[in-house]
Amino acid sequence: MKFSKIALAVFAATGFGVAFAQSTTNVDLIDASQNQSGALNRQDSFIGNASGSAKSNVFAVDVSQNQSGALNSQQLNMGNATGSSKSNVFAVGTTQNQSGALNSQTMNMGNTSGSGQSNVFAVATSQNQSGALNSQTMNMGNASGSGKSNVFAVSTSQNQSGALNEQSMNVGNAQ
């Protein structure tokens, strides 16, 4: 009797691990925003990212991060795939906005690493900053390892005003 309970426990734990590793998430996100003012603030968004052998489907419209002040940080991660996972991203109107000095923005959308696959359809994606000594990085649909990424992007932009600012945009690169 004891052996059968242990065997059932091992089977249940293994079954859960396989189901979790091969899970699927479907995200429908409309009009989502993060807003902050002041100094030394941080905003992080993780939307529909997949790892292991999971699958993620993201439908996002009007997702934004907004900050004013100094020494602030924004990071937006949407539909990234690692391992052997697969991600499908449909995003319209994704924006990051900052005003002030010494701020940083990072946007990662539909990137894949390992043997994962990512499909990205993005319209009106932008990063906007005003002030001095700010930095922007946008990574969209990049593939590393044996990963594969397909990108369709319209009206993708980075905008800055002020002095000593930095921008980096990486779209559809394979490494």
pLDDT tens sequence for the chain (175 residues): 444 443 333 333 323 222 235 788 899 999 999 999 999 999 999 999 998 898 999 999 999 999 999 999 999 999 999 999 999 999 999 999 999 999 999 999 999 999 989 999 999 999 999 999 999 999 999 999 998 999 999 999 999 999 999 999 999 998 8
Residue 33, helix vs strand vs coil: strand
- Can you tell me the distance from the alpha carbon of 89 to that of 106, in angstroms, rounded to the nearest whole number? 18
Under DSSP, is residue 20 helix (H, G, I), strand (E, B) or coil? helix
Other C-beta atoms lying within 10 Å of the C-beta of residue 135: 17
Which amino acid would we find at residue 4? Answer: S
Whole-angstrom distance, CA of residue 91 vs CA of residue 58: 8
Whole-angstrom distance, CA of residue 52 vs CA of residue 23: 9
pTM: 0.85
CA distance 82 to 52: 6
Task: Report yes or no: 85 and 91 within 8 Å, Cβ to Cβ.
Answer: no
